[in-house]
Amino acid sequence: MTVYQLHSQAPEVARIQTRLKELGLYSGPIDADFGGGTEAAVKAFQRANGLAPDGRVGPLTWDALFGGAVIEAPALTRQTLAYRCLALTGSFETGTAPPDCFAGLAGDFDGQGLSFGVLQWNLGQGSLQPLLVEIDRTSPALTRRIFDAHYPEFEAMLGVDRDDQLLWARSVQDAATSQLLEPWRGMLKTLGRTPEFQAVELKYAQQRFQTATTLCRTYDVWSERAVALMFDITVQNGSINAVVQAQIQRDCAALDRALPRDEREVARLKAIANRRAEAATPRWVEDVRARKLAIATGVGSVHGREYDLAAQYGIRLQPQDG
The model's pLDDT over 19-57, given as tens digits with 9 standing for 90+, comes to 999 999 999 999 888 999 999 999 999 999 999 999 999
Going by pLDDT thresholds of 50, 70 and 90, the confidence category of residue 72 is confident
Interstrand relation of 115-116 and 299-302 (parallel, antiparallel or unpaired): unpaired
**Using CA atoms, how far apart are residues 129 and 165, in angstroms rounded to an integer?**
9
What's the rounded mean pLDDT across residues 144-163? 98
What beta strand segments (E) does 141-212 contain?
A: none
pLDDT at 174 over 90: yes
Radius of gyration of the chain (CA): 22
**Using CA atoms, how far apart are residues 70 and 68, in angstroms rounded to an integer?**
7
Q: pLDDT value at position 31?
A: 87
**Using CA atoms, how far apart are residues 225 and 48, in angstroms rounded to an integer?**
40
Q: pLDDT value at position 306?
A: 86
- Cβ(141)–Cβ(227) below 8 Å: no
Q: pLDDT value at position 10?
A: 84
Q: pLDDT value at position 281?
A: 94
Q: pLDDT value at position 291?
A: 97
**Using CA atoms, how far apart are residues 280 and 302, in angstroms rounded to an integer?**
17
Length of the chain in terms of residues written? 322
Alpha carbon dihedral 141, 152, 125, 162, in 10-degree steps, equals 150
